[in-house]
């Protein structure tokens, strides 16, 4: 599951993926917060 979320985050960083990410809007906010917490734990 984490790999899928990391893939989504990589797509968000991509310029074309950014439009899709902004279209998702607040639906992604919770997911991104969880991903960021996972990254902090890894680092």
Calculate mean pLDDT across residues 18-27: 64
What per-residue confidence (pLDDT) applies to 21?
61
Residue with the larger pLDDT of the pair 18 and 40? 40
How much of the chain exceeds pLDDT 70, in percent?
53
pTM of this structure: 0.28
Each as own residue / partner, the long-range contacts of residues 34-37 (CB below 8 Å, 24 or more positions apart, any chain) are 34/5, 35/5, 35/6, 35/9
Per-domain boundaries in the chain:
2-42
Q: What is the pLDDT of residues 9-22, one digit of tens each?
A: 776 666 565 666 66
């Amino acid at each position: 599951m984490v790999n899928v979320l990391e893939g989504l985050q990589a797509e968000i960083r991509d310029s074309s993926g950014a439009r899709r990410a902004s279209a998702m809007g607040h639906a992604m906010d919770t997911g991104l917060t969880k991903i960021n917490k996972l990254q902090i734990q890894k680092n």
